[in-house]
Structure 1
């Protein structure tokens, strides 16, 4: 039985990824800042651990408690929307601490066991916004684009040890709590110079037209990355993400 450790499992993509692997007979270590076992199916193959990816001691405790794992899924993260000019620097730092440095730190903590066993898979969940420039999410996009670059270089470094590294890039997922989680981080969005831009963009989102991404799309993409050695480095997840990826190509 193989083991997967997934971050950010309290809702959204992480929760669905955990369910997906449990349904397929894997041992799942579902991590979140505040552990909740009631949101996942009861299973002898499930273990819920506390993990704050911005806290080095929390990372160390979780990795030690998890023991040997076969696949690491770095999914934890959050979004924030505001014009770059008016977004507080503290929010920018928080975005990078969680989305970028948290992913890097946990990967560093897990790589030694993968290298020693000459096996393992690292899957980093970023975003399809890295395919295309969009207003108001410039800093969020930058935090995810940094992970893309980190992941691509990591793959080149650890291939010699039998370690596979993949990127899963989801599209827009209205059904998740992504928007709700971004609400506390919207300071600066009310800058009067950008009012018309903000109004028009939010009106477009409210219409909710066109293709979107579902949590199941992301879970399937992560499963493919974990189980298919021939999967590509970049795996878009969701119809909209696939369209943007094709457009970029």
Structure 2
């Protein structure tokens, strides 16, 4: 029997790549977008969904279950980037980031768990970020929202394991997608104490995305996880040095690791 997959944020970037890859492997794939009518040529169905809206999440899940009678894999991929000095980022933008990157995935999981519990099976894959393993300068809000999702996943994974539901995190590094275009950038303020260092860091971050890996590498990794009998708690997908930075954080004294990051960002 073909597995039914739901991917939030499936209209572009990593989500689209995962959806196309799994569709071509024979999975029944549903993606979501806040405005699916703007994506007329998707090779898999797109359902309207805003992860900040509980009703739209429930409506999407209900539609898929009514169509297919099952829901086997849920990939929490929808998310947004945010950059800026924490002091200068408007509080409403911080709240919006957490609504999308943390509370949205939580609501998606809460919506799909009853169906998976009835099936006594299911896999939830939360797309986090290597940035979620460390507090990065001028990306602190993004790091925090993704890091919080990592911890939520660790806890929920233990809560549902006995009823046959599996949950895992996949933390990507930099991939060549349009995430930079959709990211909220706090403006570089003339005369601000952060004007020069933040401006330089912003250019550095955008260059990393532009030169990032092919998102189909991420799609292949997701496919391999779905095929795995017992997925691990955490997966990291990206360039060697990005993944190695997590190892260094684990083994280096905090002050040394902080100096390493500050040197990298020229702070």
Structure 1 match to 2:49: 51
Aligned to 1:178: 179
Matched, 1:82 2:84: yes
Could you tell me the TM-score, scaled by structure 2's length?
A: 0.84
How far apart are the structure 1 equivalents of 2:171 and 2:73?
17
Q: Structure 2: how far apart are the matches of 1:235 and 1:120? A: 18
Provide the residue aligned with 2:217 in structure 1.
217
Q: 2:60 pairs with 62, 71, 81, which one? A: 62
Compare 125-134 and 114-123 and name the one that shifted more. 125-134
CA displacement at 1:204 relative to structure 2:
3.1
Q: Per the alignment, in what secondary structure is the counterpart of residue 232 of structure 2?
A: coil
TM-score by length of 1: 0.90
SS in 1 for 2:32: strand
Could you say what the CA RMSD is over the residues aligned between the two structures, in angstroms?
A: 2.0
Q: Cα gap change, 1:60/1:205 in structure 2, threshold over 3 Å: closer, same or farther?
A: closer
Residues of 2 paired with 1:242 and 1:113: CA distance? 34
**What residue number does 1:198 align with?**
198
CA 1:212/1:64 → structure 2, altered by over 3 Å: closer, same or farther? same
Deviations for 1:108-132, whole angstroms, at most 9, x for unmatched residues? 0000111121100000001100223
Quote how far apart the aligned CAs of 1:242 are.
2.7
Q: Distance in 2 between matches of 1:51 and 1:34?
A: 8
Partners of 1:188 and 1:35 lie apart in 2 by 30
Counterparts in 2 of 1:118 and 1:207: CA distance versus 1, 3 Å: closer
CA–CA distance in structure 1, aligned partners of residues 83 and 45 of structure 2: 34
Q: Determine the C-alpha separation between the residues in 2 that align with 1:205 and 1:59.
A: 32
Cα separation, partners in 2 of 1:39 and 1:248, compared to 1, 3 Å: farther
Deviation of the 1:187 alpha carbon: 3.0
SS at match of 1:193: coil
CA shift for structure 1 position 82: 0.6
The superposition leaves residues 51-110 of structure 1 with CA deviations (integer Å, 9 ceiling, x where unpaired) of 111111111110110112100000001001010011100000000111110000010000
Give the total of aligned pairs.
242
Which of 134, 141, 144 pairs up with 1:142? 144
Comparing 114-123 with 233-242, greater Cα deviation is found at: 233-242
Residue 203 of structure 1: CA displacement?
Answer: 4.1
Provide the rounded CA distance (Å) in 2 between the counterparts of 1:147 and 1:206. 24
Aligned to 2:8: 7
Structure number with the bigger relative contact order (C-alpha 8 A, sep ≥ 6) is 1
Closer/same/farther in 2, CA of residues 85 and 229 from structure 1, 3 Å limit: same
Give the deviation of 1:133 after TM superposition. Answer: 2.6
Find the aligned partners of 1:93 and 1:170 in 2 and give their Cα distance.
23
**Cα distance in structure 2, aligned partners of 1:49 and 1:202:** 33
> Does structure 2 conserve the Cα–Cα contact (< 8 Å) formed by 1:30 and 1:49?
yes
* Alpha-carbon contact 2:188-2:199 (below 8 Å) kept: no
Task: Give the equivalent residue in structure 2 for 1:18.
Answer: 19
After superposition, the Cα gap between the structure-2 partners of 1:25 and 1:206, relative to the gap in structure 1 and judged at 3 Å, is: closer
State the shift of 1:140 in Å: 1.1
2:238 aligned with 1:238: yes
**Other-structure match for 2:29:** 28
Shift of 1:206: 5.7
